[in-house]
């Protein structure tokens, strides 16, 4: 049995060295860095909002566009909330959205 134990000693030494080298590589944290990015909220003039409201008013009941605008209003509120909670967060550059209302 003694000769068999000696056979394993070099393998154990190599394994111990390999493990210590691997742990040395893991000095940095494994948690990803998360940056909150708030989307821009495009500001619309009162005149533009009034025009959009008129156009929205003439759509038929149950219109897909009207439902989408309702969803868009929620997203704008969420973006405003994000900006108020994270004033120093990175922000996307303002880009004009194709059609929207400021609710």
Q: Is the pLDDT score of 48 beyond 90?
A: yes
The predicted pLDDT at position 5 comes to: 64
Higher-confidence position of 33 and 17: 17
For residue 66, is it within any domain?
yes
For residue 96, is it within any domain?
no
Burial letters for 19-41: b for 16+ Cβ neighbours within 10 Å, e otherwise? eeeeeeeeeeeeeeeeeeebbeb
Total structural domains within the chain = 1
**Of the candidate ranges 19-23, 40-44, 47-51, 93-97, the one whose mean pLDDT is the lowest:** 93-97
For residue 17, is it within any domain?
yes
What domain range includes position 37? 2-91
> Is the separation of the CB atoms in 85 and 78 below 8 Å?
no
For residue 98, is it within any domain?
no
- pTM passes above 0.75: no
pLDDT in tens, 49-98: 999 999 999 999 899 999 999 999 999 999 999 888 764 434 443 433 43
For residue 42, is it within any domain?
yes
Average pLDDT over residues 32-52: 88
Q: Tell me the three state secondary structure of residue 34.
A: coil
For residue 47, is it within any domain?
yes
């Amino acid at each position: 049995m003694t000769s068999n134990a000696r056979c394993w000693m070099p393998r154990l030494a190599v394994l111990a060295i390999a493990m210590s080298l691997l742990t040395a590589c893991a000095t940095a944290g494994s948690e990803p860095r998360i940056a909150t990015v708030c989307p821009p909220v495009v500001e619309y003039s009162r005149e533009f909002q009034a025009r959009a409201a008129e156009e929205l008013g003439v759509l038929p009941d149950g219109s897909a566009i009207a439902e989408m605008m309702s969803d868009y209003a929620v997203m704008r509120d969420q973006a405003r909330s994000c900006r108020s909670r994270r004033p120093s967060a990175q922000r996307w550059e303002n880009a004009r959205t194709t059609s929207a209302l400021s609710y």
